Structure 1
């Protein structure tokens, strides 16, 4: 599932880093914390790898 905004893509990258053990889970906040808990590493990798070009900074609505 691709990210729908740059913010979502960044949160997925942070969650993926924590899931892999590169950063502390306690450093996660907001969406990245819930993503780390609820999504698999594969799902996070797909979302974090989404092309940023043409994406809004934040999803509207």
Structure 2
């Protein structure tokens, strides 16, 4: 399953690093914490390895300003 945005890919990468013991789980927040809890290492690897080219920075908050 490919990542839909750069933000999703980055969150998956952070969760994957925590799953592998490369970073502390306590450093995770938001989407990366949720991904860590609910996804396998293989699923996280698939999301994190998605090529970034052509991906929007963020998907989902239509109609809201993002500062």
Same fold at TM > 0.5: yes
TM range (shorter): over 0.9
Provide structure 1 residue ranges, at least 5 long, that are not aligned to the other structure: none
Q: Which residue of 2 aligns with 1:27?
A: 27
TM-score scaled to structure 2, two decimals?
0.88
TM-score scaled to structure 1, two decimals?
0.97
More helix by share: 1
**Matches of 1:26 and 1:33 in 2, distance apart?**
9
Provide structure 2 residue ranges, at least 5 long, that are not aligned to the other structure: 63-67
Q: Structure 1 residue runs of 4+, over 4 Å off? A: none
> How many residues get paired?
61
C-alpha RMSD over aligned residues: 0.7
Which protein is bigger by CA-based radius of gyration? 2
Q: Which residue of 2 aligns with 1:14?
A: 14
